Structure 1
Amino acid sequence: MTGFRLTQYAHGGGCSCKIPPGELEDIVRGLTGYTSPELVVGLDDGDDASVVAIDDTTAVVCTADFFTPVVDDPYDFGRVAAANALSDIYAMGGRPLVAVNLVGWPRDVLPTEVLREVLRGGLDVARTAQCHVGGGHSIDDPEPKYGMAVTGVANPHRLLRNDSARAGRPISLSKPLGVGMLNNRHKATGEVFPQAIASMVALNRQAGRDALDAGITAATDVTGFGLLGHLYKMVRASGVSAVIDAAAVPYLDGAREALRDGYVSGGTKSNLDWVRSGLRASVDEDELLLLADAQTSGGLLVVGEIPGAPVIGEIVPRGEHLISVR
């Protein structure tokens, strides 16, 4: 497995290869607005997963997430992709039940043994999450891609949503930022950053449970649109604004050095450009790029306090700017 650098077989990597948020909103404009008593959460606010109520106590939570390699090691790639897909269920306050693999593979370029390691990594993380893996779908693809479609369950009256943030509440972050910068450096140089891998493969299960136990109703996970992008979607959907204390935001070791040395993805720059019209900042451009860094399998951004997650800001009444960074 060591003879192949998976990141060299794809133009992007991880969640930074997502379609830019502004462009994606243009694509789905006109496709929103579908309402149904059973569809509790749909497309309208770009939440982390869809939710369909089955009865008064049970809802089905559905999501899908896949991407090109974010790390060179195939087993780690599988673990990261699986943890990232499962995170959408936790971000809604749900419990994953079953997942199916989503695979695109350049069969004439990369051996099937490499793909087997990717799938093994995904299976191991799903087992840790006590989530069944029940097959999947694969295609012959010029670039390697892997992820999962995940189905979970939740109480329809105890959800974590991105449209329920309320003024006067603190904002907490369950994982440090910076994996985007470190992954971009890894792709360019081959340097391995165990701290980034450890962060990406860690499940958001406990953070989701703690949020529900604390009576919290608003949360989202921080992935390809960066902290600023996902917070922007949340405050816009909730009719509020947010203030971020930049000095309180945690970062992985090496993230600032990667920024200093220029390892900034195009996705990160697109994220910052997207939120600029609603942003007021008293910090410099580098700090904003860190806050907009395209994360892969990032933490939960929670409106409330949970154990082990630093408070990085607060929700305030809707003002002239959707987000203020100081």
Structure 2
Amino acid sequence: MNEFGGLFICGGCNAKIGPGNLSKLLNGLPQTNDDRLLVGFDSTDDAGVIKLSDDVALIQTLDFFPTMVSDPYLFGKIAATNALSDVYAMGGKVLSAMNIVCFPEEMDINILGEILRGGSEVIQEAKALLVGGHSIHDSTPKYGLSVTGTIHPDNILTNNNCQVGDILILTKAIGVGIITTAYSVGETTDENFAEAISSMTTLNKYASEVIVKHKVSSCTDVTGFGLLGHLSEMLGENQTAYLTSRDIPVISGAYECAQELLVTAGGQRNRNFLNDKVLFKCDDFAIEELMFDPQTSGGLLISVPAEYAKKLVDELQQVDQLASVIGKVVELDTHKIIIE
């Protein structure tokens, strides 16, 4: 038993609605026709962007979810780190944040205090302003942020501008969904869990500050749709991504957990949605599960012209950021994504 009163089977980004159902809902909504809207929900991008002037655009996003860890303070840090990530994925700077809170009326209010303390520390690290929030009673605790950022209208990094010949770079290891699920039932070690926590509480701010100095084609953060789901959103109709499975970084212990079928419901939703788009040439079920695994507060996935890739990797590593070259973008082949 943990401080929230039970185990967490569907927390973090694993709790998000699957990409198939979500796309059907969004396709039915009326489109906004306004020249000020530079990026809207029709592009499945990381956040909305509204032009305020020739020099300033506003980035708007929000994210919240139920917990996947038993420590309220860590939950607050993870949820806040995750919510801020969309601004960094677009190359922007975080300006302000507001708390989003759902909390059971009968639960100890001090637990909520710890959640908010964790979140506020992350907001301070981001050098952003905490300006308020909204709270309601609910059957289970949920927490996140509504976030406002800024960017120059000419410098927006979108998630759908890959170019043939681009190299794909990933800045965090995958497998946190599988590790947190396994840890909740006592099937992985404290050391593996600590590595996952470290990843989930590392702001993408530091990687983003390097990325914006380079001629990057496209960028997104890897969250609930998993590595393959978010990669599929980046690719154009006439493009295929070739990935090398051995080059994809994995949280310690996650591969072994996947081999033992300690996988997530969100991962299965992602697999079902992407089934006809992905071809695995490697015969390795565990690797497949890791690539479909929903990531909470995952890393940035970057598409960059080949001639700039090495310099970008070098500069990311100089500021202690993981930078793994995991594949490349080519002209359309038999599938949208092919993994060897």
TM-score range, shorter chain: over 0.9
Cα distance 1:146–1:157, how it changes in 2: closer, same or farther (>3 A)? same
1:129 maps to which residue? 126
Question: Which position in structure 2 is the counterpart of 1:21?
Answer: 19
The yes-or-no answer on 1:170 pairing with 2:184 is no
* CA displacement at 1:32 relative to structure 2: 5.5
CA contact (8 A) 2:10 2:265 kept: no
The 8 Å contact of residues 8 and 187 in structure 1, kept in 2 or not, is answered as no
What's the secondary structure of 2:185's corresponding residue?
A: helix
Q: Are 1:7 and 1:187, in contact at CA under 8 Å, matched by a contact in 2? A: no
Q: Aligned partners of 1:7, 1:217: CA distance in 2, in Å? A: 45
Secondary structure of the residue aligned to 2:134 is strand
Q: TM-score, normalised by structure 1?
A: 0.95
CA drift at 1:317 = 1.8
Can you list the C-alpha shifts for 1:223-268, whole angstroms capped at 9, x where unaligned? 01100000011114x6522111111000111111221222201001
Supply the AA of the counterpart residue of 1:119. L
Output the amino acid matched with 2:132: G
1:7–1:70 contact (8 Å) kept in structure 2: no
Label 1:262 to 1:285 Cα distance change in 2 as closer, same or farther (>3 A): closer
- Are the equivalent residues in 2 in contact too, given 1:42–1:50 (CA < 8 A)? yes
Contact map agreement 1:32 1:44 (CA 8 A) in 2: no
Task: Give the equivalent residue in structure 1 for 2:64.
Answer: 66
For 2:253, the aligned partner's letter is: G
Instruction: Note the C-alpha offset of 1:324.
Output: 0.8
Q: Distance in 1 between matches of 2:286 and 2:142?
A: 31
Query: Are positions 1:156 and 2:153 aligned together?
Result: yes
Q: Which amino acid aligns with 1:300?
A: L
Distance 2:170 2:9 in 1: 30
- Match of residue 94, structure 1, among 85, 92, 107: 92
2:291 and 2:301 map into 1 onto residues whose CA distance is: 13
Cα distance in structure 1, aligned partners of 2:303 and 2:209: 14
Q: Residues 45-98 of structure 1: CA distance to partner in whole angstroms, max 9, x if unpaired? A: 211100001112110000000000021100000000000000010001110010
Structure 1 Cα separation of the partners of residues 53 and 239 of structure 2: 31
Matches within 5 A, 1:1-326: 4-6=2-4, 8=6, 12-31=10-29, 33-108=31-106, 110-189=107-186, 192=190, 193-236=193-236, 239-283=238-282, 284-304=284-304, 305=309, 306=312, 307-308=316-317, 309-326=323-340
Give the whole-Å Cα distance in 1 for the aligned partners of 2:5 and 2:253.
20
After TM superposition, give the deviation of residue 178 of structure 1 in Å: 0.9
2-side partners of 1:22 and 1:31: how far apart?
A: 15
The unaligned stretches of length 5 or more in structure 2 are 318-322
Q: Is the 8 A contact 2:270 2:292 kept in 1?
A: yes
Please, what is the CA RMSD of the aligned residues?
A: 1.6
CA displacement, residues 285-305 of structure 1 (integer Å, 9 cap, x when unaligned): 321111111100000000023
Structure 1 CA distance for aligned equivalents of residues 137 and 8 of structure 2:
14
Question: What amino acid does structure 2 have at the position aligned with 1:178?
Answer: G
My pick for the range that moved more, 23-32 or 168-177, is 23-32
How many corresponding residue pairs? 322
Q: Which consecutive segments of 4 or more residues in structure 1 shift more than 6 A?
A: none
1:276-321: CA deviations, max 9, x gaps? 1111110233211111111000000000233231110011123331
Q: Take 2:206 and 2:13, find their aligned partners in 1: how far apart are those partners?
A: 22
Provide the rounded CA distance (Å) in 1 between the counterparts of 2:208 and 2:44. Answer: 19
Q: Is the 8 A contact 1:227 1:291 kept in 2?
A: yes
Q: State the SS of the aligned residue for 1:67.
A: strand
CA contact (8 A) 1:61 1:152 kept: yes
Normalising by structure 2, we get a TM-score of 0.91
User: Which residue number corresponds to residue 320 of structure 2?
Assistant: none
Cα offset, 1:187, TM superposition? 2.1
Query: Secondary structure of 2:6's partner?
Result: helix
Q: Distance in 1 between matches of 2:152 and 2:10?
A: 37
